[in-house]
């Protein structure tokens, strides 16, 4: 920042400024923010992991160690599902501007991670270059990668992964609706949802592919977490996501390994919507990053206190029809990636709908995302003792 420039904390948080327009712009802003972080943590450093290949994609993080003995460590991450990184970038910028100045640098370490899945953010896909959903790739040491761990996915394989180019969109949508009705009659809504979203290892070009080994991005984050978890006895991990849940109310998603209940945490943190992934309010996942962090905290790090959660900013809503539309957009987006479309206009329409599943352009939605994030950040940071009640 040049002389006379206002500090980030003193500027209004407007959506046009906070939401980036490209991966490159987001990364450049994040790297430049090191100067701001160093005003609070003078020894803060920028570190990067360049992905294999020549695509100029990097996982970047700012590490700010406590000036004295670290009592707490906070980690904020985004972009695990690449396209969701645009929302996540806004949240990291908001956090830097409004919450970093309220922390105590003498006793608090901070790690801010930009774009866990930089290839996906750069190219506009949820998965990485190998089509792996990285939030199905954090397999515990006790959970093996499996090609047949999701039996219902095999039953619905062609419904979830049509092996052809997309034709006339109205016909595609009618066919998908009819296939959805058949799937629901055959398995029921719960099993269809679980089959689609749990993660699978049998179709490398399919939706929610978990991979057959740890991905490069996953291994880099695992190493970073192991280092961070050794830095303090109390660790807080918050991961930014978008797409699922009520359209105008962010959900704080909890691991089933978190001992505190959703209602208890809602009261403690003064935020209305905490849900666990083993509850009807959300869906089950195998290979979830926050679940793995709980495993790490318990089995390796021996932390006195660990709390991890994901902020999930819904886009379409949580009704049955919204869920079906979300699945249609996911299936057709994946179909477009691997098989293309009959014409350019159809491909563009499918792409716009796929992108809209993770990032809405309208001002009311973006403003509500920022308002919900502020409420949740404030409540969780106070409940975990990272900021005082009056700050």
pLDDT tens sequence across 252-261: 999 999 999 9
pLDDT beyond 90 at 22: yes
User: What pLDDT is recorded for position 144?
Assistant: 67
User: What pLDDT is recorded for position 7?
Assistant: 42
pLDDT beyond 80 at 211: yes
User: What pLDDT is recorded for position 3?
Assistant: 33
CB 128 within 8 A of CB 58: no
Residue 149 burial (C-beta neighbours within 10 Å; 0-12, 13-18, 19+):
middle
Q: Of the ranges 102-106, 276-280, 291-295, which one carries the lowest mean pLDDT score?
A: 276-280
* Coil vs helix vs strand at 75: strand
Q: What is the DSSP letter of 194?
A: H
CATH of 14-141+210-315+358-383, one of 3.40.630.10, 3.40.640.10, 3.40.47.10, 3.30.70.20: 3.40.630.10
Long-range contact list for 10-13, CB < 8 A, 24+ apart?
11/97, 13/94, 13/97, 13/98, 13/370
Q: How many CB atoms lie within 10 A of CB 305?
A: 13
67/232 Cα distance (integer angstroms): 13
Please, which pLDDT band fits residue 10 given cuts at 50, 70 and 90? very low
Domain ranges of the chain: 14-141+210-315+358-383, 151-197+319-356
CB 291 within 8 A of CB 135: no
**What does the pLDDT look like over 148-185, one tens digit per residue?**
789 999 999 999 999 999 999 999 999 999 999 999 99
301/62 Cα distance (integer angstroms): 22
250/34 Cα distance (integer angstroms): 28
* Structure tokens that stand for 130 in this block: 């190998």
384/303 Cα distance (integer angstroms): 14
Total-model pTM: 0.94
pLDDT beyond 90 at 9: no
Closest CA to 384 of 306, 325, 319: 306
Q: Of the ranges 6-10, 124-128, 241-245, which one carries the lowest mean pLDDT score?
A: 6-10
- Find how far residue 275's CA is from the centre of its chain: 15
Instruction: Name the percent of the chain lying above pLDDT 70.
Output: 94
* Structure tokens that stand for 95 in this block: 């956090």
* Structure tokens that stand for 386 in this block: 């990272």
Please, which pLDDT band fits residue 387 given cuts at 50, 70 and 90? very high
């Amino acid at each position: 920042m040049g002389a006379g420039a206002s500090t980030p904390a003193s500027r209004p948080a407007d959506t046009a400024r906070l939401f980036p327009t490209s991966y490159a712009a987001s990364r450049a802003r994040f790297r430049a923010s090191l100067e701001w972080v160093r005003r609070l943590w003078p020894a803060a450093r920028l570190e990067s992991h360049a992905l294999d290949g020549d695509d100029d994609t990097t996982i970047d993080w700012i590490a700010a160690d406590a000036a004295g003995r670290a009592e707490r460590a906070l980690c904020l991450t985004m972009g695990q599902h690449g396209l969701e990184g645009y929302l996540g970038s806004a949240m990291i910028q908001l956090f830097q501007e409004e919450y970093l100045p309220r922390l105590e640098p003498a006793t608090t370490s901070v790690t801010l991670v930009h774009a866990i899945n930089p290839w996906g953010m750069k190219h506009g896909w949820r998965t990485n270059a190998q089509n792996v959903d990285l939030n199905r790739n954090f397999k515990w040491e006790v959970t093996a990668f499996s090609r047949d761990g999701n039996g219902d996915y095999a039953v619905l394989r062609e419904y979830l992964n049509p092996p052809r180019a997309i034709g006339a969109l109205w016909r595609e949508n009618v066919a998908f609706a009819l296939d959805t009705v058949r799937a629901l009659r055959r398995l029921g809504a719960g099993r269809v949802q679980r089959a689609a979203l749990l993660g699978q290892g049998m179709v490398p070009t399919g939706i929610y592919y978990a991979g057959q080994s740890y991905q490069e991005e996953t291994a880099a984050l695992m190493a970073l977490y192991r280092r961070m978890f050794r830095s303090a006895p109390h660790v807080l991990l918050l991961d930014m996501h978008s797409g699922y849940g009520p359209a105008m109310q962010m959900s704080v998603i909890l691991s089933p390994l978190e001992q505190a209940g959703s209602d208890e945490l809602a009261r403690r943190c003064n935020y209305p919507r905490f849900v666990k992934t083993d509850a009807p309010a959300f869906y089950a996942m195998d290979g979830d990053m926050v679940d793995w962090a709980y495993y790490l905290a318990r089995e390796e790090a021996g932390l006195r206190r660990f709390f991890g959660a994901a902020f999930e900013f819904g886009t379409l809503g949580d009704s049955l029809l919204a869920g079906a539309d979300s699945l249609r957009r996911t299936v057709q987006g994946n179909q477009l990636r691997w098989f293309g479309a009959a014409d350019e206009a159809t491909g563009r329409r499918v792409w716009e709908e796929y992108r809209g599943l993770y990032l809405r352009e309208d001002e009311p939605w973006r403003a509500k995302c920022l308002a919900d994030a502020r409420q949740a950040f404030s409540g969780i940071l106070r409940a975990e003792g990272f900021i005082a009640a009056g700050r």
